Amino acid sequence: MAAGYSLVELMFVMGLAATVSAMAVPQSLSALDDARATGAARYIAARLQRARTEAIARSTTVGLRFTLAGSHYSYAMYVDGNGNGVRTADVASGVDRQVLAPERLVDQFPSIDFGTLPGLPAVDPGGAPPGSDPIHLGASNIASFTPQATATAGSIYIRGDHAQFVVRIYNDTARTRILKFDAAANRWRPL
């Protein structure tokens, strides 16, 4: 008797392998999206904490300014040049000087950017939902940090194809906290 496999057996094994692979691909893509979005949220939190450290080290206000250019936000760090805080007019006139080159999140984390998923609930109970604006830092979109370790309070929303995060800034301590949206439970959870 000859050893080997029949054509039917080979077709069955190939069909089974294709089915298992097709089931695994969406889960793998979702996990990759989640990992990239987590990394992006941690990166932004680290950039904010660097601004906080710079403000303390320089004994002046330092701000991370978010600017919408086309369909993506860029962000850059500025130092107060005249003692009145980092302000949009002073940035435009060159009084508040830029100390780090502008960056875009999407350039460092493919398919991840500042944004919100449709229908996202408020982070705080009883608060307002974020809507479509991912940067909630006031009208100027500048997260300012003082040498006294205080900051502009606000939220910065980061999303992937399926994952949603928010980096919160607390004004009394200038610290940050990252929360992830749990779609199954329809609530925010600390990372």
Per the CB < 8 A criterion, the answer to whether 51 and 146 are in contact is no
Look up residue 158 and give its two tokens: 């980061």
Place of tokens 């999140």: 105
Beta bridge partners of 64: 77, 143
Domains, in order of start, for the chain: 31-190 (3.55.40.10)
Q: What is the pLDDT along the chain (191 residues), one digit of tens a residue?
A: 567 777 777 777 777 777 766 665 555 557 888 999 999 999 999 999 999 999 999 999 999 999 998 999 999 999 999 999 999 999 999 999 999 999 999 999 999 999 999 989 999 988 889 999 999 998 889 999 999 999 999 999 999 998 999 999 999 999 999 999 999 999 999 99
The whole-angstrom separation of Cα 182 and Cα 159 is 13
Per the CB < 8 A criterion, the answer to whether 62 and 79 are in contact is yes
